[in-house]
Amino acid sequence: MNAKLESIIAEAKRNWQSEQNSGRIRIRVTRDTSSLARGADETIAKLQGAIDSKKLTADLGVTGSWGFCWMEPCVTVRSAAGTHTILYGNVTPDRAGEFIEAIAAGRDFPELAIGVVEGNATADIPLLSDHPFMKGQVRRLMANIGTTDPESIEHYLAHDGYAGFGKALEMDAEAIVKEMLDSGLGGRAGAGFPTGRKWDFLRTATASPRYLVCNADEGDPGAWVNRVLLEGDPHLIVEGLLIASLATHADEAYIYIRYEYPIAFARMQKAVEQAREKGLVGKNILGSGKDFEIVVFFGAGAYVCGAETGLMSSIDGYRGMPRIKPPFPAQAGLWNKPTNVNNVESYANAPMIMRNGAQWWSSVSDAKEKGTKMFTFSGSVNWAGCVEVPFGPSIGTVVDQWCGGMREGRVLKGFQPGGPLSGVCAANRNLTLTLDPYRELGLFLGGGGIVFFDQFTCVLDMCKFFLAFCEDESCARCTTCRGGTQRAVEIMRRIQAGGGRDSDFTNLQTLVTTMVWSNCFHGQFAMTTIKTALKAFPDEWQEHIVEKKCRAGVCEALESGLQPVRRVEPEEALALAGS
């Protein structure tokens, strides 16, 4: 490996080791958007206050999110001897006092314990790996998160950070692309297009300069997997981009972060600066003669800027309107130069593939889709958190195991697999987290945000909501999309107000068949929610339009028919949704 890189990694490891052996209690609090929403900063202030006043030989630090988002702030406490580490949850400011009392007295605090991270289980506290939320998870992308300080390049280096880049430095571009292709990594934004093939398009492009774009626009409401990475381990993304730059001969990268993620923006900026200080970004990287720049770019609130061509016109300073492809970004992207666009999670896998090899990387599951994928779950379930799992588990497992079941009194009625363009599905516990079953149903398993709903959710109200979202976020270039989404919202509002007509089925069908003519996926797939909901929940449309009833009791102008959802057998649901 590059001698300079080898020495900075070795030094970081030594520092990490001596930190570990400091003989001090180590307290680490998650500090990300989710934990700040639940009072992390006040918790941190209280813990620090108590450490100072009690003169505890302890140091306090921060980490990214373990994924137990509904139990933030999470805190790990590592014993002075380093033999015993426990993860606690719900260490909210009002509990911080009694919590630190116990720690200061040398006791555990079982009441808030989630599990033992290091050492043996105790009588009161089981191992973290036995927690239902952790079972079945394989944490690779999230391996550092919870352990390292996201604002420390030293911590990242100490965990073999940038070693994947070190390997890539010794390979030629073609060999890196081959390794990526062999791994079978598919684009994590949802389409699953092989990342290695995209990289090869850019590698073989002829013009220069050439650009990389890291799509951190994560616009699907209910998805925050990219945020967990950006806030929790930003150097993983820098390293991914560095590897991609070697594979594609790229000169500069733009990381486009949505406006709703200010902490992610600040951490990515800091990470890039730290990498620059170490000689990993900028001119003549590590003495290799290679130059590479990274710009961290802040969006301003526009869903279509997640679409790659919209994103590029946004960086360019124009309205963020997607355009017709071809030309594809690899032919004419940023400033009409060859460009490669990938999702955050796609780039973040590159360091894993380089460090451990394609074989290791792809061996984790039997599914056709290789590697692990991060998902966030929310809605009518008990736990709203973030997991990393191999592709393939069933929705039943997701709900029972990783979501802690449905909230009290709520029955699973259906779910949205991946954002406003992805459609809705009837409750089917057998569907797996893989791409094909959704495609077959006319849906998409998108970027990782799955939202569950129950009998109190009106399917038509959901359709109205998602169409209104698509209307608001339409770039307005295509008549089919601009006018079509408006028309769909009008029709939905009228139905919900009691003015449904038989002809509405045809009206909606017309929109389904014409909006697909829009230029970009936004317009093409805006009607997916209605299209799939018509198939999956035919009775509910009939009730609203013909009988003027809303079984969920949401549409106030209609007769409320709150009644138990019909139990749909899995095979039947599949047939319904697929017919």
Partner 1 sequence: MTVEPGVEELRELVAEFQPNRGHVMPALHKVQEKYGFIPRPAFEVIARQLNSTPALIFGAATFYSDYRLHAPPETEIAWCCGPACRVLGGQRVLDAIQDELGIGFDEHTEGDRLGLHVGQCNGTCHEAPQVWVNGKVRGNLTPESARELVRELKAAGE
**Sites of contact with ligand FMN (CB under 6 A):** 187-189, 191, 193, 195, 215, 217-219, 303-304, 306-308, 341-343, 346, 447, 520-522
**From partner 1, ligand FMN, ligand FES, none, interface partner of 384 (C-beta below 5 to 8 A by class):** partner 1
The CA distance from 237 to 241, in Å, is: 6
Ramachandran region, residue 412 (left: φ > 0; alpha: ψ -120 to 50; beta: rest): beta
- Per-position x/- string for 174-213, each x denoting binding to ligand FES as judged by CB under 6 A, each - no binding: ----------------------------------------
Least Cα distance to 155 among 12, 309, 350, 323 occurs for 12
264: exposed, middle or buried (C-beta count within 10 Å: 0-12, 13-18, 19+)?
A: buried
The CA distance from 32 to 74, in Å, is: 11
Q: Which is nearer to ligand FES, 37 or 497 (CB)?
A: 37
Q: How far is the CB of 305 from ligand FMN (least distance, A)?
A: 8
Is residue 242 a contact partner of residue 279, using CB atoms and an 8 Å limit? no
The CA distance from 73 to 69, in Å, is: 8
The CA distance from 72 to 75, in Å, is: 8
Q: Which is nearer to ligand FMN, 72 or 369 (CB)?
A: 369
* CA 551 centroid distance within chain: 33
**From partner 1, ligand FES, ligand FMN, none, interface partner of 227 (C-beta below 5 to 8 A by class):** partner 1
Least Cα distance to 61 among 155, 130, 129, 199 occurs for 155
Phi/psi at 394 (nearest 5 deg)?
Answer: -90, 160
Q: How far is the CB of 452 from ligand FES (least distance, A)?
A: 12
**From partner 1, ligand FMN, ligand FES, none, interface partner of 182 (C-beta below 5 to 8 A by class):** none
Q: Which is nearer to ligand FMN, 455 or 529 (CB)?
A: 529
206-225: which residues touch ligand FES (CB under 6 A)? 221-222
Q: Which is nearer to ligand FES, 119 or 221 (CB)?
A: 221
Q: Which is nearer to ligand FES, 222 or 390 (CB)?
A: 222
Is residue 96 a contact partner of residue 114, using CB atoms and an 8 Å limit? no
Residue 126, interface with ligand FES (CB under 6 A)?
Answer: no
Q: How far is the CB of 77 from partner 1 (least distance, A)?
A: 23
Q: Which is nearer to ligand FMN, 189 or 478 (CB)?
A: 189
**From partner 1, ligand FMN, ligand FES, none, interface partner of 260 (C-beta below 5 to 8 A by class):** partner 1
Q: How far is the CB of 192 from ligand FES (least distance, A)?
A: 25
Q: How far is the CB of 218 from ligand FMN (least distance, A)?
A: 5
Q: Which is nearer to ligand FES, 340 or 376 (CB)?
A: 376
How far is the CA of 460 from the CAs of 221, 302, 498, in angstroms? 18, 25, 12
The CA distance from 508 to 162, in Å, is: 52
The CA distance from 197 to 239, in Å, is: 19
Q: Footprint of partner 1 on this chain (CB under 8 A)?
A: 33-34, 37-38, 69-70, 72, 219, 221-224, 227, 254, 259-261, 295, 297-302, 314-321, 334-335, 376, 378-380, 383-385, 416, 451-454, 457, 461-462, 465-466, 469, 475, 554
**From ligand FMN, partner 1, ligand FES, none, interface partner of 215 (C-beta below 5 to 8 A by class):** ligand FMN
Q: Which is nearer to partner 1, 132 or 287 (CB)?
A: 132
Q: Which amino acid is at 384?
A: A
Q: Which is nearer to partner 1, 103 or 530 (CB)?
A: 530
The CA distance from 217 to 300, in Å, is: 10
**From partner 1, ligand FES, ligand FMN, none, interface partner of 70 (C-beta below 5 to 8 A by class):** partner 1
Q: Which is nearer to partner 1, 7 or 336 (CB)?
A: 336
Q: Which is nearer to ligand FMN, 179 or 218 (CB)?
A: 218
DSSP conformation letters of 341-408: EEEHHHHHHHHHHHHHHHHHHHTT-SSSS-SEEEEEEEESBS---EEEEES--BHHHIIIIIS-SBPT
Q: Which is nearer to ligand FMN, 195 or 365 (CB)?
A: 195
HSE toward the beta carbon, residue 57, CA cutoff 13 A: 7
- Per-position x/- string for 524-553, each x denoting binding to ligand FES as judged by CB under 6 A, each - no binding: ------------------------------
Q: How far apart are the first and last CA of the chain?
A: 56
The CA distance from 307 to 219, in Å, is: 10
221-260: which residues touch ligand FES (CB under 6 A)? 221-222
Residue 468, interface with ligand FES (CB under 6 A)?
Answer: no
> Judged by CB under 6 A, how many residues of this single chain contact ligand FES?
2
DSSP conformation letters of 149-177: -TT-HHHHHHTTTTHHHHHHHTS-HHHHH
| Interstrand relation of 339-343 and 211-216 (parallel, antiparallel or unpaired) | parallel
Q: How far is the CB of 72 from ligand FES (least distance, A)?
A: 14
**From partner 1, ligand FMN, ligand FES, none, interface partner of 151 (C-beta below 5 to 8 A by class):** none
Which stretches of the chain bind ligand FES, using CB under 6 A?
221-222
